[in-house]
Structure 1
């Protein structure tokens, strides 16, 4: 599925192909929640890095979080004008890019269930909306993004 996204002010826009466009993972880690999580979590989608096309890249900035005192290689891309979170890319997995669902302008499909990640890191004021079919993890699930979509017949 072709995903089109942009920042709030319109300075940066992008297009990327996603074989897994269901926005199902809600990450409550402090990095996601503080850099992109208005609801106390962020939702990342999986996409193919080699298909990413960016307009207005000169307005884009990159943030590298510090984890246990060490700079992460993960690149959190955001608009330098309005600070909208756009996508995450980690050079350890060069074939992937993870746009934030909040930056996507394309109508996204509703996931049949959600996975709630790193709930042990959530802010005290956050009340996760965990439904009957949803999964909860204090860490990361053992099932990959691709496996989750394949198991549900959601691969496009």
Structure 2
């Protein structure tokens, strides 16, 4: 079985070779707010090898002192589809809103909640961190 998704205009489509919808997390940092034009972005971590994209994909690289983040967009409508990061080799960060069944996703964590919009309420039952979570704690959420 595979999970599918697409950009807004349908020029780019993707398949993730997994059996169920991936768990997602919400990032409330100002960068994600500006990228998404919303209160937060919803993202799914998937194996890069499980992701296959067709269509006119364009890339944009953000290079900092300790990493390179490569963003992938539809070349037609510029929907941001996913990114990879040299600090997490082999992991694709898919924008959960581009999943065909996005209304079924489950948000299992919130990060950078210090920057959340004050009208956003986060349940005490969902793990959250005011800034970046410790990597081991965060990965543990997605591996079990």
TM range (shorter): 0.7 to 0.9
Tell me, what secondary structure is at the counterpart of 1:76?
strand
Q: Could you list the runs of 5+ residues in structure 1 that have no partner in the other structure? A: 152-156
Q: CA deviation at 1:55?
A: 0.9
> Within the alignment, does 1:53 sit opposite 2:55 as a pair?
no
- Cα root mean square deviation, aligned: 2.6
> Within the alignment, does 1:114 sit opposite 2:108 as a pair?
yes
Matches for 1:14-93 after TM superposition, within 5 Å: 14-18=14-18, 21-23=22-24, 25-38=25-38, 40-56=39-55, 59-65=56-62, 72-93=67-88
Q: Could you list the runs of 5+ residues in structure 2 that have no partner in the other structure? A: none
TM-score, normalised via structure 2 length: 0.80
- Say whether the 8 Å CA contact 2:67–2:87 is kept in structure 1: no
Question: Within 2, Cα distance between the matches of 1:10 and 1:22?
Answer: 24
- Say whether the 8 Å CA contact 1:17–1:47 is kept in structure 2: no
Equivalenced residues, count: 141
Q: CA deviation at 1:110?
A: 4.4
Question: Within 2, Cα distance between the matches of 1:71 and 1:92?
Answer: 8
TM-superposition CA deviations, 1:39-94 (whole Å, max 9, x none): x11111011111221111xx222223466xx5950112111321211011113322
Q: CA deviation at 1:109?
A: 4.5
Question: Within 1, Cα distance between the matches of 2:48 and 2:113?
Answer: 28
